[in-house]
Amino acid sequence: MHGEIKGEKKEEEKEKNKENEVRVLSGMRPTGSLHIGHLRSVLEIWKNLQDEGKRCFYLVADLHALTTEWDNSKK
């Protein structure tokens, strides 16, 4: 029974950690080729956040691709 209590406490601790877990959602627009500005301003920050143990989700926000029909994109 004592082992069960320890197990329950570990589960409760895991749940508390999940509630306090930092999640990061970040994105950038596709503006052409990567350049030094991307490296210095965004990519290094994203890497550091991951190194700190943050749970990170990254995206490329391409509004044009989301709002135009594929067949008509050349018009």
Dist CA 5 CA 72 (whole Å): 63
pLDDT digits (tens, 9 = 90+) for 44-62: 899 999 999 999 999 888 7
Domain extent listing, the chain? 22-75
Where b means 16+ CB within 10 Å and e means fewer, 17-28 reads eeeeeeeeeeeb
Highest mean pLDDT among 3-7, 26-30, 63-67: 26-30
User: What does the pLDDT read at residue 65?
Assistant: 67
Single pTM value for the model: 0.53
Q: In the CATH scheme, what is the code of domain 22-75?
A: 3.40.50.620
The SS3 assignment for 63 reads: helix
CA distance 7 to 57: 31
Biggest distance spanned by C-alpha atoms of the chain:
71
pLDDT over 70 (residue 63): yes
